[in-house]
Amino acid sequence: MDVVVDELKANVSLLAIHPNDAALPSFTPPIEWKWWHDPPPWQSLLDQAPHFQLDRAPIPLESSVRESPFGMSPKKHHEITRMTDYILHLARTRLSHLARTSIRIVDVGAGQGYLTRALHRYFSSPTLALDGDHAQTHGSRTRGSPDGIIHCTIHITPTTLVQAIDDWIPSTLTPSDPAPLSVLIVALHACGSLTPDLFRAVFNLPPNHPWVPAAVIAVGCCYNLMRAPDDFPLASANQSIPSLPPSAFHLAAQIPPHWSDSDKTLAAAKLATQKVVWRALLGRIFSQLQSDDSSAVPDKPATGSTPAMRRLGRLPDAVYTSWPAFLVAASQRIGTDFSAAAEEYSQYRSLEARLENLHVRRCLLGPVVESCIVLDRLAWLDELLTACSRRHDGGGWSKGYEAQAVNLFDQSTGSGRNIALVVTPS
């Protein structure tokens, strides 16, 4: 953890300055940005990724799941099959003392229910699918759910999660069920603070509860939605980690090591970079046209967010095929005539190269930021397990459980958030 934090500290100026900020006429680059006045081609930076980050190679798994890809993107299909394979592996190894049909399954943030149905198919046990979006729950139901799957829409918190499981458990009971029941809790891409909230729920179960966690497997994502600073850092040993700017958590979703995997991925990276840079250049032009208008000035530190950029919103990829087309679309969205800037593009070439470099250098730090978040969560889980093992009642956990960070997915498939936090019997 220390080397990862040191890497972030050494690059704090990159994390703290968004391209929208750097494009403004008033911007002065930090003294350590030696590259700013003569930036190299940004593609050459992809070989300079920071060294201090977690290895992301996926673990080897026996492939026994044959899920139909119908209705799923290749990325989603990869995630569903790999996660199901991994959970079946746990059932054969660390959960072999439990009969599969006796394990209750709870899918948190179930979405369209692909993982829900896959797990139910292989476990044949009662399954509860929870999501905070009614449209997702409705979509999952309309795709067809076999008997034994219950769908619920709830706002998920540690309290509501436990209550939802408590309310559902009695309807699943059979005379042969052991007591307490074992519940397997899974979450594929638990956004923001949902990952720590899952663990808060199970670690705070009272003694003699009618169910106990068999295991928890959660893949986090959308770190920018975390309740900061409450959920980062979490581990008591990491409270000295300096505050990261909000944009750092956005950057944690980036996977630049895979930008140059193929012509297709490199083209996607070029388009994404061009979007960021052209929008930053537009912010500069707007600030010059409206120098006394606060709409041109970033109002959220280190995020590049301005009232004008929020009005611009997301534009179709097609408008980025040319600078004039982009300006026409921006004029319509923002309500300002940018047509005069169409002929001035050449004067921004030097600034464009600098902003490209800034954006890519920031993205290269994304895996370091995510590594820091994952390592902090793992240390926090170890602290919780140690505290539970010292309690007389053990809480929802008994001695002999451990926490792991497991690389489930292959990032080259587009599954950038590939690390699962897993708590199971040792």
Find tokens 């958590």 and name the residue: 249
What's the half-sphere exposure (Cβ side, CA atoms, 13 Å) at 38? 1
- Mean pLDDT value across residues 8-27: 90
pTM of the model: 0.92
The answer to whether residues 288 and 356 belong to one domain is yes
| pLDDT at residue number 295 | 55
Task: Show which of 366, 381, 414 is a domain's final residue.
Answer: 366
The answer to whether residues 205 and 343 belong to one domain is no
Q: Please check whether residue 15 lies inside any domain of the structure.
A: yes
The answer to whether residues 214 and 226 belong to one domain is yes
Where does the pLDDT of residue 34 fall: very low under 50, low under 70, confident under 90, or very high at 90 and above?
Answer: very high
Secondary structure (DSSP) of 355-399: HHHHHHHHHHTHHHHHHHHHHHHHHHHHHHHHHHHHSSS-TT--T
The answer to whether residues 102 and 232 belong to one domain is yes
211-221 and 149-153 strand pairing: unpaired
Residue 8 has pLDDT above 90, yes or no: no
The answer to whether residues 357 and 372 belong to one domain is no
User: Can you tell me the distance from the alpha carbon of 61 to that of 64, in angstroms, rounded to the nearest whole number?
Assistant: 9
Q: Which residues, including other chains, have CB under 8 Å from residue 406's CB and lie 6 or more apart?
A: 59, 86, 419, 420, 421, 422
The answer to whether residues 271 and 309 belong to one domain is yes
**Encoding tokens for residue 101?**
């049909």
- 354, with CB counted inside 10 A (0-12, 13-18, 19+), is buried
Task: Say how many domains are in the chain.
Answer: 2
The secondary structure element, H or E, covering residue 21 is helix 19-22
The answer to whether residues 176 and 267 belong to one domain is no
pLDDT tens readout for residues 134-156: 777 766 676 666 778 999 999 99
Closest CA to 128 of 253, 11, 137: 137
The answer to whether residues 362 and 401 belong to one domain is no
Closest CA to 72 of 15, 139, 2: 139
Please say whether the beta carbons of 420 and 86 come within 8 A: yes
Q: Which residues pair with 105 in a beta bridge?
A: 127, 184
User: Can you tell me the distance from the alpha carbon of 34 to that of 27, in angstroms, rounded to the nearest whole number?
Assistant: 15
Find tokens 């109002």 and name the residue: 299
The answer to whether residues 223 and 264 belong to one domain is no
- What are the two backbone dihedrals, phi and then psi, of residue 215, each rounded to the nearest 5 degrees? -170, 160
Q: Please check whether residue 297 lies inside any domain of the structure.
A: yes
The answer to whether residues 113 and 78 belong to one domain is yes
pLDDT tens readout for residues 218-252: 999 999 999 988 899 999 999 888 888 888 899 99
pLDDT tens readout for residues 412-424: 999 999 999 999 9
- Mean pLDDT value across residues 258-268: 95
Where does the pLDDT of residue 296 fall: very low under 50, low under 70, confident under 90, or very high at 90 and above?
Answer: low
Where does the pLDDT of residue 389 fall: very low under 50, low under 70, confident under 90, or very high at 90 and above?
Answer: confident
| CATH number for position 197 | 3.40.50.150
Q: Please check whether residue 248 lies inside any domain of the structure.
A: no
Find tokens 């943030």 and name the residue: 109
Residue 305: helix, strand or coil by DSSP? Answer: strand
The answer to whether residues 182 and 271 belong to one domain is no
Q: Please check whether residue 61 lies inside any domain of the structure.
A: no
Q: Please check whether residue 179 lies inside any domain of the structure.
A: yes
Closest CA to 216 of 388, 10, 405: 405
Q: Please check whether residue 60 lies inside any domain of the structure.
A: no
Q: Hey, how many other C-beta atoms are within 10 angstroms of the C-beta on 366?
A: 24
Higher pLDDT, 397 or 23: 23
Secondary structure (DSSP) of 45-114: GGG---S-S---PPPP---------TTS-HHHHHHHHHHHHHHHHHHHTTTTTS-GGG-EEEEET-TTSH
Task: Show which of 349, 366, 383 is a domain's final residue.
Answer: 366
Task: Show which of 340, 366, 392 is a domain's final residue.
Answer: 366
**Encoding tokens for residue 153?**
């829409």
The answer to whether residues 311 and 287 belong to one domain is yes
Q: Range of 286's domain?
A: 2-50+259-366
Closest CA to 357 of 242, 247, 280: 280
Q: Please check whether residue 56 lies inside any domain of the structure.
A: no
Q: Please check whether residue 59 lies inside any domain of the structure.
A: no
| pLDDT at residue number 304 | 75
